[in-house]
């Protein structure tokens, strides 16, 4: 087959312990999924889960042991970090029950849901879509994916991010309002999940701004860390 323009390259993420890579289909994100983060954003912390998407090519895939690069994006004066556990879907499906969700998970990674907070806030105020605040180029840095069998107890793992060596966010995945299984149940009722989908599960409290030149070090216990420099 010949294409009328050059088709885009497949976006992919390294997999721990192999040369093989995980191809990215869609990026789903869960909003306000830790109570203390919902509160810092001005909400009660109790609401049904809600979702937004980022384009697959917003991924900045960072190799094990290296520091990824994210160019400071246009239009914003308030670029925020949101450290998140990312779930990588290996087997698709729709109407997946929470109890069966583990059968659909390939592995886990550390991700940053980078956010142009000023633009997101403006869109919220006007009741408009969040795309410009959330779905911009380079907005989804991610570290290598650890296969589920090697990942340990991610549901109870400590999660953190430091900026220039200073603690910014520090919590535990056990504090998710909607846990991994429940998130997959809700998400797969709305969309048919596909192999290659990534789910950014939400961020704990402590979101704040980063500047050009800052270095972020993110981690979830049991997974490869994510190192990122803003340039």
Q: What would the two tokens of residue 144 be?
A: 């290598």
DSSP lists the bridge partners of residue 207 as none
Contact 163, 210 (CB under 8 A): yes
3-state class of 174 per DSSP?
A: helix
- Contact region with Mn ion (CB under 5 A), list: 16-24, 56-64, 76-84, 141-149: 76-84
Minimum CB distance to Mn ion smaller for 28 or for 106: 28
What is the rounded distance in angstroms from the CA atom of residue 156 to the CA atom of residue 93? 25
Instruction: Say whether residue 82 binds Mn ion (CB under 5 A).
Output: yes
Minimum CB distance to Mn ion smaller for 15 or for 89: 89
Query: Cβ of residue 203: shortest distance to Mn ion, in angstroms?
Result: 5
Instruction: Say whether residue 32 binds Mn ion (CB under 5 A).
Output: no
Minimum CB distance to Mn ion smaller for 104 or for 134: 134
Pairing mode of beta strands 21-23, 146-147: unpaired
Query: Cβ of residue 67: shortest distance to Mn ion, in angstroms?
Result: 22
3-state class of 223 per DSSP?
A: coil
Minimum CB distance to Mn ion smaller for 15 or for 70: 70
Minimum CB distance to Mn ion smaller for 82 or for 185: 82
Instruction: Say whether residue 159 binds Mn ion (CB under 5 A).
Output: no
Instruction: Say whether residue 199 binds Mn ion (CB under 5 A).
Output: no
Instruction: Say whether residue 203 binds Mn ion (CB under 5 A).
Output: yes
Residue owning tokens 């570290």:
143
Output the DSSP codes for 102-145.
GGGEEEEEEEE--EEHHHHHHHHHHT--SHHHHS-TT-EEE-PB
Instruction: Say whether residue 113 binds Mn ion (CB under 5 A).
Output: yes
What is the rounded distance in angstroms from the CA atom of residue 148 to the CA atom of residue 163? 28
- Contact region with Mn ion (CB under 5 A), list: 14-22, 91-99, 136-144, 198-206: 198-206
3-state class of 154 per DSSP?
A: helix
Query: Cβ of residue 198: shortest distance to Mn ion, in angstroms?
Result: 13
Minimum CB distance to Mn ion smaller for 133 or for 144: 133
Q: Which residues bind Mn ion (CB under 5 A)?
A: 82, 113, 203
């Amino acid at each position: 087959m010949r294409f009328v323009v050059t088709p885009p390259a497949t976006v992919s993420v390294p997999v721990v312990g192999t040369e093989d890579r995980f191809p990215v289909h869609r990026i789903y994100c869960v909003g306000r999924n830790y109570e203390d983060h919902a509160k810092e954003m001005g909400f009660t912390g109790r609401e049904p889960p809600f979702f937004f998407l980022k384009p697959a090519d917003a991924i900045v895939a960072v190799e094990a042991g290296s520091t990824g690069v994210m160019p400071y994006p246009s239009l914003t004066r308030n670029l925020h970090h949101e450290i998140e556990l990312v779930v990588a879907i290996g087997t698709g499906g729709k109407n997946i029950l929470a109890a069966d969700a583990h059968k659909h998970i390939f592995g886990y990674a550390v991700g940053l849901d980078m956010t142009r907070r000023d633009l997101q806030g403006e869109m919220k105020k006007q009741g408009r879509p969040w795309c410009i605040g959330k779905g911009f180029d380079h907005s989804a840095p991610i570290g290598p994916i650890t296969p589920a069998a090697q990942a340990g107890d991610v549901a109870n793992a400590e999660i953190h991010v430091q900026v220039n060596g200073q603690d910014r966010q520090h919590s535990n995945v056990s504090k998710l309002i909607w846990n991994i299984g429940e998130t997959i149940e809700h998400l797969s009722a709305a969309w048919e999940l596909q192999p290659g989908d990534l789910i950014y599960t939400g961020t704990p409290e402590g979101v704040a701004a980063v500047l050009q030149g800052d270095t972020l070090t993110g981690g979830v216990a049991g997974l490869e860390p994510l190192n990122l420099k803003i340039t």
